Each structure stands twice: as C-alpha cells, then as structure tokens.
Structure 1
Amino acid sequence: MFSSRFRARRIRGKEVFRRMVRETTLSANDLIYPMFSAFGSGIRKEVSSMPGIFQQSIEHIVAEAKEVHGLGIPAVILFGIPETKDAVGSDAYAEHGIIQETIRAIKREVPGLAVITDVCLCEYTDHGHCGIIKNGDVDNDATVKLLAREALSHAQAGADMVAPSDMMDGRVAAIRQTLDNNGFSHIPVMSYAVKYASGYYGPFREAAESTPQFGDRRSYQMDPANRLEALREAQADIEEGADIIMVKPGLPYLDILRDLRNEYAMPLAVYNVSGEYSMIKGAAANGWIDEERVVMETMLGFKRAGADLIITYHAKDVARWLKGGI
C-alpha cells in the first residue's frame, strides 16, 4: 500500500502548483547568441549543417543584433571570417579586422547589447589551428602573445568582454595583464576553461571556416575521458584572473558542469555547441521530436546542472518561447 503522507502527484496535479514549486528557472537573461561575421557586403549565407544560422556581412549582423536585443537577450558572442588568412592569423589582431569592425558597428547601432568576442586564431590562420605552428604543433608561448594582442584589439574596438577559446596554457594571465596594462582593467574575461576535443564541433567548423588542414587539436584541447583534469583547468584560469569560466560542449559534459558548480562560487557558462544544435534541428525537421519541448528541456538541463549562462544557437527561439511561457 502507498503511504498517504507523501503523494507527489498532489502538487503535480495543477499547473499553478507546478510553477510555484519549480526549482529551476530560465530567462532570456541567461542566454548568449553566437554570430558569424564575414568580410564583404551583401552576404547572408545559411550554414548548410546549421539551419537558421548564417555567415553574414556587417550590415546583416547589425540587423540581427537589433533583433536579438529586442528579444531581451543581453549579449552576443562574435566569430569572424576574414577576407584573407595567413600562417599567423594577422586579421585576428588587425585594427580594422573583421571582428574589430563588427564590434564598432554593433556598439554604434545597438549600444545596449553586450558584445563578447571569441579570442582565438583558428578562424584566421590558413592552417586552421588555434595558434602559431612550430615543428608540426602549436607553439604555446608564441601563440599566447598573439592572443593577448587580439584581446586588446577587441577591447580597443569596444568589446564588452573577451572570451579566449584556444586552450593555450597561461593565456588568461597574459590577456588579463595586457588588458590591465593598457587601461582596460574593467573588461571581464570569460574563459573557455574546460574545452574538450569533441566531435560535436563539426558544424561550427563549416560556419567559421576553421577546419584544421592537418592533424587535430588534441594536443591542446582536453581528452573527453578526463574529469578531474577539468577542475585543474578551471582552477588555473580562476587563479589567472578569469571572471567567468565555461564548459564546452554542453550535453555530453553535464557532470563536469555540476562538478564546477559544486567547486567554485563564481559565474559559470556552458556552450551548447553546433553539433548539439544540428542534431535537434535535424530530428525536428524529420518530425521525430517536438523541437520547442526538447530545446527548452535542454536549456533547463544546463541550468539544473549549474550553468548561469548558456551560449546557444537556439537563443532567439528560446527567448520567443519564454515570452509565451514554458
């Protein structure tokens, strides 16, 4: 016989009670929307593996930024597709590079929208790796110097926050020191502290045109088998001055997200990456799942695991659905 003292369904029986006791909440303020800015004009090219996501020239980026702001999403994170690439990723830290010009345009036209910039070299190098190549591998310290230079150029262009994603050792400290020494001590650093060498990045590499031309990124991104290493990586970045730490990808690493939430009392972000997005969009297009329900459940899963912020390509849809209620 069931005990009459505890009946979970008493509270589940009415929507008003379910709302009143809901443990995890989601709002548009939790969202960051990624955008891909391409050199040129009149460009709005849909990414074939990411329906609804586009490579766009600056005028279209600004138009979408206005839409994002209007939906109540507080921030975007920018990735760049330059006119030309070279061995040292020169456009990444050029005064008038694609991201630098995109920052200026957004801040001029949509000043209330926070602009976060991805700090990495992979989109700008002709070899597709995240740094300077020496002896067939990425040279850590030479790369860190350029990453600090890139972050500074973003701050000078008006970025509100910089987000190093390269996974070089010591890059947070170098960026923090460079920003501080040049009058940008107020600019926060959101570190991709725990970034795994993942198969879920495939569609992003089409969107950002950043596929490595040889080898892979396993010498600098984390082994998916490792859990304790995530704590060491996060601790190192916190000690170096990170203001927000991030886990990437999201869904396969919810245990890592929870580990970091339990360990550190600081803002925590998760990147709901391209492969996760594309799988949901593909299944929804085939009628196999209810897209809205699955996306919202995914977002709540990130929040429940401990995320304060969610970088997601679903952000605009989520904001719209939230206005209609979960």
Structure 2
Amino acid sequence: MRAVVITERGGPEVLRVQEVADPQPDPGTVVIDIAAAALNRADLLQTRGMHPPPPGAPPWPGLEASGIITAVGQGVADWHVGQRVCALLDGGGYAEQVVVPVRGLLPVPDGVDLVQAAALPEGLCTVWSNVTGPGGMSAADLQGQWVLVHGGSGGIGSLAIQILAGFGARVITTAGGPQRAARCGELGAEVVVDHHAQDFADVVREHTEDRGVPLVLDVVGAEYLERNVQVLARHGQLVIIGLMAGGGTAQIDLAALMRWKSVHGTLLRARPPQEKEAIVTQVRREVWPLVEQGRIRPVVHAKYPLDEAVQAQDAMAAGGVFGKILLVP
C-alpha cells in the first residue's frame, strides 16, 4: 500500500508518498481501507519530531480516518468486514490502509458521508473528554449554561459548538472576521466574538451579567490565559486543549485563581490505551446519538489527494481553514 512517510524532521516539504508493507490484523484489531484521513495540528508537530507516535503505532501521521473494514483479527466479534467505520488512531491515517484496535472504532451512520466522517473522531473525543473530565460537566449540567469555546472555526471548535449547543448550552465562541463568525453562528453558537474587532472578555461579562462562565475550552494558549481566568465563574474550569498563535508561556495572577477557579491542560494522543477506550465508549454512548440524528455534522474545509499531502499540510499551517482538511487516497 501507499503511505505518506516523514523522510526527516522538518516542515510539510519532508513528506513523501512511498510504498510500505500492507497491514495485517493483530488480535483485537481490524484493517480499514481508508476513505479519508483528517489532518490535525499535531501532525505538523510530528513532522518536526515534536509529537512522536505511541509505541506500536505506524510512524507516519494521521490521528483519525474513515473507511471500510476489510479484515478482522482474532477475537473481534462486534465488527465485521464491509462495515462503514471511522476511527480514533494512534497514528497511520495518511495511508491507503490502517490497522485499528477495536477500542478506537465508531460506526458511521447511514446518513453520514463516509469520506466526511473522517473529520469526526478526534474532535468529538477531545471535546467530550475535556467537558466531562477536567471540565466536570455532564450533558445535563450544560442545559442553559453559558460556555466559552475559542477557535470556533477550527476543526475542534466547529465540533465543540455543535456538541455543546446540542446538549442545550449557550455557546460563546471566538472567530476571526465576520464571515467566519457568521458560519459559527450557523453551527449553533449563540454569541460569536470577532476577535479582530472585539475583546472576548468584555463580551462574556456582558452576556453573563459579570458572573462569568463555568467552562472555557481554549485552543489558543498564552495570549488568552489572563482573560480566560478573568471570565471564569466561581468554581469555573479553564481547559487548554491546544496551542496556536498564543504560544505556550505566560504569567498568571494566582490571586485570581483563588476564587475557586482551576486551569487544566490535556492531550488526547498521549493517553494510555485504557483511557482512550473509555473515551471512545463514552462518546459512542453519549454524543454519537447526536451524529445519528444529524445534529452534529462533519465540517470539511477541503479535500486533497494523498499525493498532495504536502500542499494539505501547507494549507493547514497557513491558517484560514474552517473545519477540517481531508486526505483522500
């Protein structure tokens, strides 16, 4: 089969399509013929040697994919050849096939396009594991609550808006420019802050009558840290799930945290297998019904053939993407 391999540390230009060995199913795994793989910013870090795959994972990038099961390993009972699935991967999505432990599989509903389904697993698992984990909120807790999601136009943010709104939360999100802001509103955000023209902290205070929000999901980082803490309600939780233009180093006023506020930072890929299994199981039980009902849908910015993986990563690195970029073998 063909895969997009990393030939050396560097930018997207170091990616090359090469022939590699066809994968074979181990016990407890399936082989998927990949319909599409979604790009994530972690892929850029892996290309630079900064985000290595877990032991046993393929060395090429790709944290989520969709496709058709073509082989099953020993002991697999609940999945079958020919089934449409999408999957949370430890790596290896930039390829024509991938081996997936069954703990990472989600069934693609009949009403969801198989290619576009590649844009769902990593985002849904990231968002819901952080809302219910360090965020400390259940679906019932979200009903009627204001929450703040940064980067509403991104791959994570565009799904976060839909999940939280789907459970009845009142979503405030940030986006750059009026067109992107309008699209975030179409996804379910009640209030969209154009960060080119507005201060999100002022907007949050206005809409919550200075009470703040119980939950902030942040993909920006250091640039937003101080204001994120400011807009947290008493006992509020700030969960940092990505670092973009804001960087990773900032100072914090500890006195502000002493109003019973908490700051958390998490990664999904680095979690041990049993934690990932629990996350996928929880997503399938609690969030997947919204996908089946069409209330959460994949948001795809563009599709690139596998041979254009360099151009796809260049586009993601340049910014301006709304939702996910897909690689299609």
TM-score normalised by structure 1 residue count: 0.31
Greater share of residues in helix: 1
* TM, length-normalised to structure 2: 0.31
